[in-house]
A and B are shown apart, each in its own frame.
Chain A
Amino acid sequence: MAELTRRATREGYGDGLCELAEIRPDLLVLDADLSAATKTSVFKKAYPEKHFNCGISEQNMMGVASGLASTGRLVFASSFAMFAAGRAFEIIRNSIAYPRVNVKIGATHGGISVGEDGATHQCCEDVAIMRALPNMTVIVPADYYEAKAAVLAMADFNGPTYLRFGRLAVPMFNTPDYKFELGKGVTVKDGKDITIIASGLMVAEAMDAAQALKETGIDARVINIHTIKPIDRDIIVKAARETGKIITVEEHSVIGGLGSAVGDVVLEEYPVPVIKIGINDVFGHSGPAKVLLKEFGLSAENIVNVVKANVK
């Protein structure tokens, strides 16, 4: 993936919102003093009358989002994953998920690739927390194009949704005409020996890993699960049946995220070994994103090693 252009998924969020406004005139965007980082600043520039800064008060922002949505509008509330899923959790639960209002939570800076800001800002629990909520859809786009397409797909989907974006610029392996299908996993590379199921920025790493594995004679399938909830059960069961072993890779705690979601499906429908690569129940720390990803085993190199240790 080294040769591909890189952009952060959060940029797909900002650009996606601008395009969405053209087809959904009722779109409103909220932010909590992080517009430059969440990229809603791009939207604000284009549609200043549709962008409302709530200041550093995520709890109120989520409540306001609920109230706006109750009047029939399409509302995106934006912050960092930590302050959206974390700080405002209970407001998301009781004012958004429970009444099932059409609020989209645009949460950037998920995972440790936040980098230098360190553990207080590196949210590796958000997918687990949001997944646990009834009525909540959870999406983790893998690249800029997928992020943008996911935002646009929200025009046709009514219901509380958590969209997780990242700070780090990552390879754009999809194309500008990429179609996002809610709840549908994407087989980005077929294979028969083992399946690597990844989400977010780990999809590109998984593709690199599969390429490297090919050279050692291992034919790995790679699946991108962008919708963690509702998860694509069929594609997972098929992978379990056809490849007999699954490795999940996510920039998130191994507790409650993609790995757990995949494990739930496999356990119920076609039990095969599932090995989880993710943050192993520890906090992150400061450092350049790329250094941290390597350090925490979130690299193609580590995926290759784990696959090799588990095949044959």
Chain B
Amino acid sequence: MDKKLVRELEIDAAKIRIGIIEGVYNAKCGHPGGALSIADVLAYLYKHRLNVDPKDPNSPTRDRMVLSKGHSAPALYAALALRGFFPFETLKTLRQSGSMLEGHPDCNKVPGIDASTGSLGQGFSQACGMALAGKISCDSYKVYTILGDGEIQEGMVWEAAMFASHYKLDNLVAIIDNNGLQIDGKLSEVMSPYPIDEKFESFGWNVITINGHDFSQMEKAFDAAERVIEKPTLIILKTTKGKGVDYMENAVEWHGKAPGEEDYLRAIKQLREHLEELEGGVE
């Protein structure tokens, strides 16, 4: 992957992180931790991978992106705003009464949202339906869905895993944000889903594990997924929860809590400085 693109993706990811913190701070609640951990993959998908058009958000041939871990909505909203679906300023209305930016995504309110999600496990099944629809009509669109690593404790995730492989949905790419933490603590202590890769492999999936903050690895993994036939692909992203805000990194308490003013200023300062560094470095 060329350096210029990497830098652009880094800039988008930094902006998404700023959008997350602005949104959650203004809402005085929300889920920053798992939103920050997927900022990079969303930057990659919306800048570089997805065939979507803000001018025609419901195009039947568009790629679909279902955020099955719907509580990370602030990250998705920021990515959509960056892609031009709505103004970045709207992010500050997150979770306010009358805002289109619900606490969890509503596909009837927000352009660019392909599924209403938030109750864990359900977006994955919806993505399977979209992928099956594409197969039936021989459309070439792809369906991407992002799940939390805690989310896969839901039983219906494994129903969907069976379904996707049974119907050979090679147009489906599931992405697991493996940051290792859930509300009540470490995954390994609350209810271990490990080994995630072997479980999905045994369900008939093509599984690729990468560093979820490395764009070059993403590029290789998503390219590889396109080459696989008759099997769905799972990309496990090894990520850091709270990535980009030092005191939120790997800190379970930032799963579902908004920063107060002092914490907000600290976070936004770090993120802005990082963004300025990146922008200063673009040729």
Contact = CB atoms under 8 A, between A and B. Distances in A.
Verify that A and B bind, or say they do not. yes
Interface of A: 28, 49, 52, 54-55, 57, 59-60, 62-73, 90-91, 94-95, 98-100
Interface string B115-145: 1101101111111111111101100000000
Contacts, number: 104
Residue with the greatest number of chain B CB neighbours at <10 A, chosen from A28, A62, A64: A64
B108 interface: yes
B70 to A, nearest CB: 9
Contacts of B163: 54-55, 57, 60, 64
6 contacts: A54-B163, A63-B121, A64-B129, A72-B60, A99-B108, A100-B108
A98 B116 contact: yes
A60 B132 contact: no
Given A66-B115, A91-B122, A60 B107 contact: no
A99 B122 contact: no
B280 interface: no
Contacts of B119: 90-91, 94-95
Main secondary structure on chain B at its contact with chain A?
A: helix
Given A68-B133, A72-B60, 9 more contacts: A55-B162, A60-B156, A60-B163, A63-B123, A64-B125, A66-B125, A67-B129, A68-B130, A99-B115
Contacts of B53: none
Contacts of A72: 60
B178 to A, nearest CB: 22
Contacts of B124: 63
B116 A63 contact: no
Interface string B10-48: 000000000000000000000000000000000000000
A70 B118 contact: no
Across the A-B interface, the 5 shortest Cβ-Cβ residue pairs: A67-B129, A63-B125, A60-B159, A57-B159, A67-B126
Contacts of B151: none
Contacts of B159: 54-55, 57, 59-60
